[in-house]
Amino acid sequence: MKTNSLYIYRGIKFACVVVILLYAVSVSSQNEKRRDRTDSLSSILQEIKTPGEKLALLREQVAMNRQQKVEALLDKEIVDIAMQLDSFQIAYNTMAELSRYYYNRDMRDSMLYWYAMIDTISRQRKECPDALFTAGSLVCQDYLWAEDYELAMNEAIRQINLADRESQIYGQARGNYNLALIYQVVGQDSNAVVAFRKGLGWLDKNVDMQMLELQFLSDMVVSTLRLNLLDDSEELLIRYENLLDTIELDYKKKNYVFPALYYRCLLYSKYSDLYTRSGQLMKAHDYLEKASVFISDSLSGFVKYAYYQSEALYYVKAGNKQKALSAIDKALALEDDLDMMNLKMQLLRDCGQYQEAIRVYKKMLKMNASINNEAFNRQITQLRFLNDLNDSEKQLRELAYQNTQIAAKQRQLIHILGTVFVLLILFLVLYHFYSRTRRLKNELLSEKDSLLESERQLRLMKEKAVEANRLKTIFLSNISHEIRTPLNAIVGFSELLVDDSFKEEDKVAFASTINHSSELLMNLINDVLELSRLESGNYSFTIREWDAVMLCREILSGFENMPRPEVKLTFTPSVDSFLMNTDRFRMHQLLKHLLSNAIKFTHKGEVNLTFEADTENDLVRFIVTDTGCGIPVDMHIQIFERFEKLNEFEQGTGLGLPICRLVATHLGGSLYIDSTYTKGARFVFIHPCNLQITKEPPSN
């Protein structure tokens, strides 16, 4: 079921892209009249000087160039003019269109940028526009299709809370739609139907959102059919068909092209599925025939899978096993699904094809074994994480005990200071009475000096204790902020795992989310422990003589399959071989992190590792250069601080670069960013060559 759900919703995204591309092709090939209109607008734009008139013509050009490369340029120009004219609603809507443009092109960073722009400007102006929820919905769905369920759920709930707080009807509809899709993907159809109905309730208050309502109905009927809510499914399909007729007629009047092929085929397939389930086979066959008209090679795999699935169910009910098997084979050619394979096995067994049925059964067993192994591995990882979490809790208790001890020592210090003050008074009285005795005077003065020195030492100890307590508070604040999100996901879904009301498929999805969150938390804890060991001096370096060029090649070999196809990973040594004294493990740790950071933020171009030997100064340089997004100059120092990240939307702990700088320092070298390089980021690690070799203990 999970495989089927993921395939369906990946298909939805792909189908949306195909629909948009079909729309663009239809518009471009409609007739020469539109091309003439575009050329006419371009010539008029060159003559117009009034920003308001230019804005109207630019928006008309955008409407004629949907999802074309020129659309992004036109939209950005519209944003600039709208901001100059204080037309913020136009600016918001255009930014949302840019988010949609980059969403369809799978360019997440650019999509997030325009979403953040809408959010920032609307916060400054204390507004809550529809465009904020349009762009936010795209971000949420992008996380969902990438199987980042935690990020998708957080974004959907954040949008719902914001819409409720601002009484924003469009935002409430969009937020509930996103939430329903998430429930649908993880197999919680009952919750999905509740969220769909709530969103439709908001849509009923605004009749202008026809395309959004069409999306609601198209996706909601999938869950109602799964739950066998046949009456509800029929009502949804009738409403869906009426709305589709209205939209097609409206587009035709406006001389716009509407891609009805996708929607009609899906509608008739679902009608056939509905009537097959209710036993009305004649109606099911009629709608199946209507849907077959739209089946072609150009249609998306998602729609074809839905058609073949409905066809298989119909022929099973009609008793035509051969045609049912043919439809199942066509569906399985698109995606391996356990339910379809089980249905095929039963049909083969009924037809007496036992060998073929056994072959299908073996394949099902193999798939089930693979799924079970993955689930077992996730459970083992979870248990390991829980054990590490218990260790962390023990460390926190020890830290609390140490804080109590420090507080007790502070109280003792106050008592000691009070005692010292009383003693000073007594010594002054004695000094007054025995002032004639030089010996006693000298002893009293010596004791006074000793007590003053003790007071100064105690004051220094108190100041150090206060500073340590302040640093501890800052550290706990940062670490609690970083672990809150994955820990909340782990605790929440762990509680759901023991709830017998959920299906096994749901628990597998919950376990997957827990595994993902535990990996994030494990990386954070490992980085914190490594940073703590380096700062406290509880570490060891093993210095040996190594070939620096060979070390670099070993490190690079671990990244052969990591870069994106558009990213080239290269190595530029100044010599073929160079022997130097270093710690092999720490060198791997430092250079691997610099290279992984460069690959992570480089989407196109090159990541280069350069080795330079400076024999005159007895040092070597390791230089990691990329053509990624780069680091602003004002962040060059700040980026080496704890928990500091260049992009808060990117996953990571923000501890890697501080660890790298500490390792470089302990190796007697340095790590810095080359501010003269502007085509990306360039990190330079300087390593001395004359480190003392570690002496090994004698072997027995």
CB 171 within 8 A of CB 132: yes
Quickly state the pLDDT bin for 552 (edges 50, 70, 90). Answer: very high
Domain that holds residue 648: 544-688
CB 211 within 8 A of CB 247: yes
Residue 403 backbone phi and psi in degrees, to 5: -65, -40
The SS3 assignment for 683 reads strand
Terminal Cα distance for the chain, rounded: 61
Q: Are residues 587 and 615 in the same domain?
A: yes
Return all residues near 595 (Cβ < 8 A) that are at least 6 apart. 555, 556, 559, 569, 607, 609, 624
Quick: pLDDT tens for 528-541. Answer: 766 666 666 666 77
pLDDT exceeds 60 at position 696? no
Q: Domain for residue 620, yes or no?
A: yes
State the total domains in the chain.
3
Estimate the crossing angle of helix 130-145 against helix 149-166, to 10 degrees: 160
Q: Strand locations in 78-139, DSSP E? A: none
Q: Domain for residue 569, yes or no?
A: yes
Residue whose tokens read 């009910």: 317
Q: Are residues 405 and 511 in the same domain?
A: yes
CB 208 within 8 A of CB 171: no
- In this prediction, residues 219-225 reach a mean pLDDT of 88
Q: Are residues 393 and 464 in the same domain?
A: yes
Q: Which of 189, 218, 251 is the last residue of a domain?
A: 251
Mind giving me the DSSP string for 278-294? Answer: TT-HHHHHHHHHHHHTT
pLDDT exceeds 70 at position 475? no
- In this structure, the strands spanning 681-688 and 567-573 are unpaired
Q: Are residues 465 and 577 in the same domain?
A: no
What is the identity of the amino acid at 418?
Answer: G
- For residue 124, give the H/E element and its range: helix 108-124
- In this prediction, residues 476-488 reach a mean pLDDT of 70
CA distance 115 to 511: 31
Q: Domain for residue 333, yes or no?
A: no
Q: Are residues 587 and 451 in the same domain?
A: no
Mean pLDDT score of the chain, rounded to an integer? 79
**What pLDDT was estimated at residue 525?**
72
CA distance 315 to 351: 14
Q: Phi-psi region for residue 618, left (φ > 0), alpha (ψ -120 to 50) or beta? A: left
* SS3 readout for 139-153: HHHHHHHCCCHHHHH
Q: Domain for residue 85, yes or no?
A: no
- In this prediction, residues 460-464 reach a mean pLDDT of 85
- In this prediction, residues 633-651 reach a mean pLDDT of 68
Q: Are residues 396 and 532 in the same domain?
A: yes
Quickly state the pLDDT bin for 22 (edges 50, 70, 90). Answer: very low
CB 618 within 8 A of CB 688: yes
CA distance 628 to 646: 12
**What pLDDT was estimated at residue 493?**
80
The SS3 assignment for 357 reads helix
**What pLDDT was estimated at residue 537?**
64
Count the Cβ atoms, other than its own, within 10 Å of residue 10: 18
Quick: pLDDT tens for 151-204. Answer: 888 899 999 999 889 888 888 888 888 888 888 887 888 898 888 888 888 777
Q: Which of 197, 217, 251 is the last residue of a domain?
A: 251
Q: Are residues 551 and 447 in the same domain?
A: no
Q: Domain for residue 231, yes or no?
A: yes
- In this structure, the strands spanning 544-547 and 579-582 are antiparallel
The conformation of residue 661, written as its DSSP 8-state character, comes to H
Q: Are residues 468 and 553 in the same domain?
A: no
Quickly state the pLDDT bin for 471 (edges 50, 70, 90). Answer: low
CATH number of the domain enclosing 608: 3.30.565.10
Q: Domain for residue 586, yes or no?
A: yes
Q: Are residues 514 and 399 in the same domain?
A: yes
Q: 609 to each of 193, 530, 622, 681, how far by Cα in Å? A: 53, 25, 7, 12
Q: Domain for residue 584, yes or no?
A: yes
Q: 187 to each of 14, 150, 181, how far by Cα in Å? A: 20, 15, 10
CATH number of the domain enclosing 135: 1.25.40.10
What is the identity of the amino acid at 439?
Answer: R
Q: Which of 474, 509, 536 is the last residue of a domain?
A: 536
Quickly state the pLDDT bin for 303 (edges 50, 70, 90). Answer: confident
Quickly state the pLDDT bin for 257 (edges 50, 70, 90). Answer: low
Quickly state the pLDDT bin for 621 (edges 50, 70, 90). Answer: very high
Q: Are residues 411 and 439 in the same domain?
A: yes
**What pLDDT was estimated at residue 536?**
64
Q: Are residues 441 and 467 in the same domain?
A: yes
Q: Are residues 656 and 607 in the same domain?
A: yes
Helix, strand, coil percentages (3-state) for the chain, rounded to 5, are 70, 5, 20
Least confident of 85-94, 363-372, 656-665: 363-372
